Amino acid sequence: MSIYKSAVQKPITTMMIFVAVMVIGIYSLTRLPIDMYPEIEPPFISVMTLYTGANAADIEINVTKPIEDRLASVDKLKEITSASYDNMSVVTLEFQWEANLDEAVSDVRNSLDWVLSSLPDDAERPNVFKFNTSMMPIMFFSVTADHSYSGLEKILDQKVVNALNRIDGIGSVSIVGAPKRVVYVDLNQTKMDAYKLTVEQIGNVITAENLNVPSGNVKMGMDDYQLRVEGEFRESSEIKELLVGNYLGKNIYLKDIASVRDTIKDISLDQRVDGKQGLNMMVSKQSGANTVKIASAVKKELEKIKPTLPPDIVVDEVFDSSKFIENSISNLSETLMYEFLFVILVVLFFLGRWRAMLIIVITIPVSLLCSFIYLAVTGNSINIISLASLSIAIGMVVDDAIVVLENITRHVERGGSLRESAIYATNEVWLSVIATTLVVAAVFVPLTMISGMMGVMFKQLGWIVTIAVVTSTVAAITIVPMLASKFMKVKPANRKFMRFGYVNTVGRLLDFIDRGYAKILSWCLTHKKIVIPALLFVFVSSMYTLKFVGIDFMPQADQGRLTAMIELQTGTRVEETMKTVRDFEKVVREKYPEVTTISSSTGSNDEGGVSALFSTNGSNISNITFRLVDLKDRKRSVFQIAEEMRADLKKYPEIINYSVTAASGGIGGGSGDNSISVEIFGYDFDKTNKVAAELKRRIDTIKGAANVQISRKNDRPELQIRFDKEKLRQHGLTSSSVSMSVRNRVDGMISGHLREEGEEYDIIVRLEEDSRNSIQKLEEMTVSTPQGEQIKLRELGKVEEYWSPPNISHKRKERIVTISVTPSGVPLGTIAGQIQEIIAQTEIPQELLVSIGGSYEDLQESNQNMALLMLMSLMLVFIVMASQFESFSSPFVIMFSIPFSFAGSFLALFLTGTTMDMIAMLGMILLIGIVVKNGIVLVDYINLMRDRGMKLYEAIAVSGRSRLRPVLMTALTTILGMLPMALSTGEGSEIWVPMGISVIGGLTFSTMITLIVVPVMYAIVSKSGERDKNRKIRKRFKFLDENETGN
Amino acid sequence: MKAVFIVFNQANTERVEYMLDHEGVRGFSWWENVQGRGSNTGEPRKGTHTWPEMNSALIAIVPDEKVKPILKSVKNMDSINEEVGVKAFVWNIEEMI
């Protein structure tokens, strides 16, 4: 028994199955997390090795190189890059997208084991880091305070961080730039010299005095007591009363030679929010957790906590990624609703029957809910990709139901009974319905097979559309005939129509269009010689517009956030950098009322290390984040503001380098930024620097090239102490012992901790600033020899000023300098082309290699992928059609409309000034499916009419007229469905506008052309073929004629 | 006794079933899928893509007096819409066991 027959005969079972599917779908929907993009695990692994005391060049040779050499052979490695800094080497491995990162990590660890022996002895064991999107913070808060500032860290730790950590799904809450309490013992060099004391002695005294020692048990009577010596400091003020030595019979107290400050650590990193001292609090989630839910939970929790905080502490939200997600998703959901409405209206307009419309649109929720089940089962989320996929699917899922219902209606109108008509009408069309679905699947299934970042995005799209369309087909041949058999009304054939009812208004209009089209079609068929060249001309001229359409990689979304990097002359003190930053902040406040929060971070965190992986910092560098008001409340886009800010920054003479970037909703962390990088490979620093500087100068002149940055920073001034080895030996000293002493004096020596309420604070002993702030004073430092003598540093060597490169980068194990360029208002492809010209014109020494990478490289890579994808889709579509029609020529006839749809897309992109990017290209792949579907409907019907014995032209004219409405309906549901998408201006809309435009343009253009091109091509291709076929058949059955003539 | 052979578009199945009951015809043989083509205007019924519709056929051996009402019902059924199609043919039964 066939599926549709069972469905009609067992309506309750059918109903219940669909109700069950819908219930599961709704349940899945409520369980799905909401996110911006599908979860992406960027295939990066970093290996970080610390080697204290070595400069960048040493690190490069002794640490980075051996590690690189060994790791270069790890499986599935795509690219190896490295950066060697002072004290630290970072090797970053990029793997292929399909690589299993856990395996990769263990491979890397194994390989590192081999290297360990060849690394310098003092180098620490390399650490392996795996990047994860959940490491990216989902929320940023700024915390400012006045008089509670010094205790801020403790207050936040106890009240805020602990409370937030309890929220389900929170990954971590981290605080950056918190003031740390320390106890400084600032020693005066002259006084110490006078009393013959050294820093080390004092440090040891402090450590020795600050002890709690368990000293055994004491038994008294029946009890057993623990004996403890409690020597630890209870307060920092005790420290200055310590006895540190004896000179000429007099006791010397610490307060005589030093000042003790219980304070917050000296700043080398200045965190400010709106000019007030503050710190940043970052919240990140566990992978797979629901960003939107967590963000709202965090906000709710913070509201609860706020009243318990001291009143001067202000917690402000700087960035909340959930807001953008929420807005994008609600925008897209709104779009989806509009689409739903449009589809209903189109169906109603063409069919003019309430009940029919209701039966058809029931397939929409069923198919969409099925997609949600897929998302839930595979552990995906509701994100802009899945919602965009649904909005693509929504126009397609009604098509099958329309075909089935139309045929049922025809049977019912002929006077058949409802139940029988439903069964037999479905029987007539179910095969062709499945065939068109296969065509759509042929377009979308290849999408699920792409690798790389695009693959992650398109996989969902491919599956969702395929699942939705397949579900809709199943629904069309089960629940639609079932509902039709139950709820459709048999209308008497010769009833009266209302004067302004459907039949007399819309019906007449549609009849008029039908007749008009039939006329045009028959004219075209008889004037092929005019029509074909005219079509070719239209095609070529619209393809020509492609030349003027810019090419981008990914659309940039306005997230209402800007980041600026300001760099002053190398070696500038933090305090000086801050002054410039404050001034710039003032300018921003005046000129850009859109900016709500400015949070800046100037200087470098002295903990260094890991943070260096993410951003460049130094005492001369400031990173500033601006948060803007919501998109709807401002006129200027984030990109315009960035452009204007760049102009403002240009005016500062002290700023030698700057960049302003509009933070965009990039995919996979860093790779979402839309930039081109020019890579200069070469060993010689001077030569590569020169070429880089020259290229930068020239690229700066390109219109639209912004944020031109050279990766290699300027050489940094450095003070080096050069020891005279002979003198060291005379005093029984070694380089290492002296350098340790110098470190104790300048950087400070940690002599135990001050313990208070369970928290430990460092006690740092070092020279007071006045004794260590010039070369001369450094040379005046006293170190002690093993014999107890005291000797000035000046006696042992010289302090000299040097310049050294702060970082050395490698790519593919070679030294590299990159110049990165962000396009501003000009497409990526255009700028890349201009840069290529510049490179060709610039004189480059032979041993250097210059190439273009960055997003441009991704762009080219994905263009190739896209082309391959398109080819594969076309082939699959051809295969499906060829087997459906059992013919090689019919698929060709239909596929003639595909180039026209592309031409239409280009034209639309050109007319709207939109650039072509991955998403627009995706739209074009979708077009293949929709356009071909229309063609199939038409050709199938022509074939049918001819098989039923009609003449070629008659068949074409009849089919054209009869299939015009279904074709228009399919096209209109999709075009109108995409319209809200193409016109939307809300948050995140930049991402899908290009797709909307390319689909609308392509579909409008190609629908008009399909209706002419396909019939005309059909006429040309099949004319002689059919005649020959008839002749052949006559020949085979010649014996009949012979019989006749024989008589 | 007469043999009544009815060939009809499958879309008429329900009606034919009802008619048999209505006319009190208990015994019959039924072919579910039958191909065919009308002599004058009737479209082919082949169950193919080109001619997707199919006929069914039944033969019922009935007493002579039942033939007339059956043919009348068939005629009425056919007049609902001739395109759908139902035909009846009658001939004599020589012997039965």
The predicted model gives A497-512 an average pLDDT of: 76
Q: Determine the pLDDT at residue A27.
A: 93
Exposed e or buried b per residue across A546-571, where buried means at least 16 C-beta atoms within 10 angstroms of its C-beta: beebbbbbbbbbbbbbbbbbbbbebe
Q: How confident is the model at residue B74 (pLDDT cuts 50, 70, 90)?
A: very high
Per-residue pLDDT band at A494 (split at 50, 70, 90): low
Residue B6 pairs in a beta bridge with B58, B88
Read off the pLDDT of residues A226-244 as tens digits, 9 standing for 90 and up.
Answer: 888 888 888 888 888 888 8
At A833-867, the pLDDT tens digits run: 888 888 888 888 888 888 887 777 777 777 787 78
Q: What pLDDT is recorded for position A626? A: 85
Tell me the pLDDT tens digit for each residue of A580-597: 888 888 888 888 888 888
Supply the DSSP string of A550-613, one letter for each residue.
-B-SSPPP--SEEEEEEEESTT--HHHHHHHHHHHHHHHHHH-TTEEEEEEEEE--TT-TTHHH
Question: Measured in whole angstroms, how far is the alpha carbon of residue A882 from the centre of its chain?
Answer: 40
Contact B50 A416 (CB under 8 A): no
User: Is residue A451 over pLDDT 90?
Assistant: no
Is residue B82 included in any domain, yes or no?
yes
CB B12 to CB A416 under 8 A?
yes
Asked if the Cβ–Cβ distance from B52 to A427 is below 8 Å, we say: yes
Residue to mutate among B18, B50, B51, B56, with most A CBs inside 10 A, is: B50
Q: Residue A666: its pLDDT value, please?
A: 44
Question: Cβ contacts (< 8 Å) between A428 and chain B: which residues?
Answer: 52-53
Give the model's pLDDT for residue A555: 66
Cα–Cα distances (Å) from A22 to A15, A263, A380, in that order, read 11, 64, 19
Restricting to B residues 38-67, those with a Cβ less than 8 Å away from any Cβ of A are: 49-54
Predicted ipTM of the assembly: 0.79
Q: How far is CA A1019 from CA A446, A524, A847, A886, A1016, in A?
A: 32, 11, 63, 18, 5
Q: Which of A125-139, A949-963, B29-43 has the highest mean pLDDT?
A: B29-43
What's B12-68 look like in SS3?
Answer: HHHHHHHHHHHCCCCCCEEEEEECECCCCCCCCECCCCCCCCCEEEEEEEECHHHHH
- For residue A860, what pLDDT is reported? 77
Tokens at A619, concatenated: 């005492």
> What percent of chain A is modeled with pLDDT above 70?
93
Torsion of CA A463, A464, A469, A471, to 10 degrees: 100
pLDDT of A1026 > 70? The answer is no
Query: Residue A672 has what pLDDT?
Result: 45
Q: How many beta-carbon pairs under 8 angstroms link A with B? A: 38
Q: Say whether A428 and B52 touch across the interface (CB within 8 A).
A: yes
Residue A610 has pLDDT above 60, yes or no: no
pLDDT at A609 over 50: no
CA distance B82 to chain A (A): 9
Q: Which residues of A touch B (CB under 8 A)?
A: 411, 414-417, 419-421, 424, 427-429, 431-432, 944, 947-948
Give the CA count within 13 Å in the CB-facing half-sphere of A245.
Answer: 21
Identify whether B68 is part of a domain: yes
CATH number at residue B42: 3.30.70.120
Task: Compare all CA atoms of chain B with the CA of A492 and give the residue at the minimum distance.
Answer: B80
Please determine, for residue B67, whether its predicted confidence score (pLDDT) is greater than 90.
yes
CB atoms within 10 A of CB A834: 20
List the single range of A114-118, A790-794, A799-803 with lowest mean pLDDT: A799-803
Q: How many CA atoms are closer than 13 Å to the CA of A698, on its beta-carbon side?
A: 17
For residue range A642-686, list pLDDT tens digits in order.
Answer: 888 888 888 888 888 888 877 654 443 333 456 788 888 888 888
**How does residue A1044 score in pLDDT terms, banded at 50, 70 and 90?**
low
At residue A135 the predicted structure's pLDDT band, cuts being 50, 70 and 90, is: low
Q: What is the pLDDT of residue A329?
A: 82
pLDDT of A643 reads 83
Per-residue pLDDT at A84: 87
Phi, psi (degrees; rounded to nearest 5) at A492: -60, 140
Q: What percent of chain A has pLDDT over 90?
A: 5
Our CA-based measurement puts residue B27 at a distance from the nearest CA of chain A, in whole angstroms, of 23
Highest mean pLDDT, choosing among A164-178, A766-780, A998-1012, B52-66: B52-66
Whether the Cβ atoms of residue A394 and residue A52 lie closer than 8 Å to each other: no
Distance, CA of A600 to CA of A582 (rounded, Å) = 9
| Residue in A421, A431, A432 nearest the CB of B11 | A421
Spatial CB neighbours of A1005, under 8 Å, sequence gap ≥ 6: A542, A900, A901, A903, A904, A905, A907, A908
A431 interaction partners in chain B (CB closer than 8 Å): 49
Tokens found for residue A905: 């897309």
Residue B97 lies in a domain: no
Element (H, E) at A524: helix A508-526
Evaluate if residue A442 carries a pLDDT over 80.
Answer: yes
- Asked if B11 reaches chain A (Cβ–Cβ under 8 Å), the answer is yes
Owner of token pair 């080895």: A725
Single out the residue of A911, A1000, A992 nearest to residue A555, CA to CA: A992
Choose between A511 and A280: higher pLDDT: A511
Q: Residue A673 has which token pair?
A: 């930024």
Domain around B29: 2-92
Backbone phi, then psi, for A792, in 5-degree steps?
-80, 150
pLDDT score recorded for residue A669: 37
pLDDT over threshold 50, residue A758: yes
Number of domains in chain B: 1
Q: What is the mean pLDDT of chain A?
A: 81
